[in-house]
Amino acid sequence: MLLNTVLALLGLSAGMVLHFRWHPLRRAFSESWDLLQLRQAWVLLPAFCLLFWPQRSRSVAEWEIWQELWPDLLREGCAAATQLFHEVAPPWPLALALPLLLVLLTVRVWRWPYRYAERAATTQQKIGLIGLSSSAMLWLGIEISSWQVIHPEWVETGKLAARSIFSALSTAGIQVWLAGLVVIWQAPRAPQADTDAVNALETTFARWPDVLQLGAFNLLWMSWRDWSSQVTGFTAWLLPEFWLLFATLPTAVALSSGRTPFWLIGATALRALRHAFPALLGSLISAVAVMMLVSYATGMILSVSETYGWLGWGARGLSALVLAMLRVWLCLTFILVMLRHGFPSISPALPAR
């Protein structure tokens, strides 16, 4: 039975390769893969986060009866594919780096007041950045101390609430940074490609008020996702697709001038979604199929290797690496599709001054 399953997986993999070779959007899939090959280190951070992310486990016997599993796999594939519009990497423990970035942003805004806008940041904005950075550093200290100290219940409650907020903010920052990176890759600002990541970070810093508001949308989505994970039946099929409405919002933030009101950015994102929806839907269907195939293969490998001790840890690391590479590749493809079909008349974002 296991041999038949392996042969079926090999056949499906070959069919998937042919599918992407003749896909109407094959150029976007191909170029995003080329970009990923040039920046292979991008895969390591999502892979590290996936090691800490809980995954649903099944026994080998359950995996072998794929005829009964495919409805669940299809629903999970839909949720995983639409999740990439909002979260290319699990936010935990990635959010632990956010307090340091907030301190860096605060220092740069104070030291170079005209670097990110035509006007210097207002006193209220500066005070808000200081308060946000201080809160983030306090939360980071509580998180680190909780590894050895048991805090009171009210402290733990506040820690978990702050973790959700800062996870949403870190996810928003990664969304805008990644979209800005793709924009720069399409229209290079300098001959040195090694500076692209730094330029994309400057682009993200220049739009920090919009990133904060985008974080509020991410917090709403994360809360809805946690609730929907307990939902079954027809509602569970509809919830992931609903959040496609906000797919183009991070790209619109990355393309904005940094001085546009957020509600206008949202209106631009909705118009872009209307233009890009057919192409996004076509790429999403293919993404769901490949997600199902890879999730099934990695889940089967993990279940088989669990009984072999150290081999199970190796299989878990390899599985996280493969899933991270798949997630980054598909996310880059979605961004390219959105840029070319939703924002064809918008020039690439200018570098922060």
From CA 299, how far away is CA 288, in angstroms rounded? Answer: 16
Over range 9-37, report the average pLDDT.
71
| One-letter amino acid for residue 339 of the chain | L
Determine contact, residues 58/276, Cβ cutoff 8 Å. no
Least confident of 23-37, 41-55, 61-75: 61-75
Supply the pLDDT for residue 268.
85
| One-letter amino acid for residue 295 of the chain | S
Determine contact, residues 254/180, Cβ cutoff 8 Å. yes
Q: Which of 137-141, 291-295, 305-309 has the highest mean pLDDT?
A: 137-141
Supply the pLDDT for residue 232.
62
- Look at residue 350 and tell me whether its pLDDT is greater than 50: no
Over range 222-230, report the average pLDDT.
70
DSSP-based three-state secondary structure for 117: coil
Q: What are phi and psi of 25, to 5 degrees?
A: -105, 30
Position with higher pLDDT, 1 vs 297: 297
How many CB atoms are closer than 10 A to CB 18? 9
Determine contact, residues 140/166, Cβ cutoff 8 Å. no
Q: Which residue in 102, 72, 304 sits closest to 80, CA to CA?
A: 72
Supply the pLDDT for residue 3.
57
Determine contact, residues 253/265, Cβ cutoff 8 Å. yes
From CA 134, how far away is CA 107, in angstroms rounded? Answer: 12
Least confident of 71-75, 207-211, 229-233: 229-233
From CA 334, how far away is CA 287, in angstroms rounded? Answer: 10
Percent of the chain with pLDDT over 70: 75
- Look at residue 240 and tell me whether its pLDDT is greater than 60: no
What sign for the dihedral angle of Cα 133, 197, 207, 116?
positive
| Total count of residues recorded for the chain | 353
**DSSP state letter for 148:** T
Over range 135-154, report the average pLDDT.
84
Determine contact, residues 230/272, Cβ cutoff 8 Å. no
- Look at residue 342 and tell me whether its pLDDT is greater than 70: yes
Supply the pLDDT for residue 259.
74
Is the pTM value of this prediction over 0.75? yes
Determine contact, residues 246/217, Cβ cutoff 8 Å. yes
Supply the pLDDT for residue 353.
33
Supply the pLDDT for residue 155.
81
pLDDT tens, residue by residue, 171-186: 888 888 888 888 887 7
pLDDT tens, residue by residue, 80-124: 888 888 888 888 888 888 889 888 888 888 777 666 665 666 777
pLDDT tens, residue by residue, 271-288: 888 888 888 888 888 888
pLDDT band at 348 (very low <50, low <70, confident <90, very high): very low
From CA 168, how far away is CA 215, in angstroms rounded? Answer: 5
Supply the pLDDT for residue 191.
55
Work out the end-to-end distance of the chain between its first and last CA atoms, rounded to an integer number of angstroms.
62
Q: How far are the Cα atoms of 114, 170, 179, 311 from residue 282, in angstroms, in the given order?
A: 43, 29, 20, 38
From CA 201, how far away is CA 1, in angstroms rounded? Answer: 50
Instruction: Tell me the average pLDDT of the chain.
Output: 77
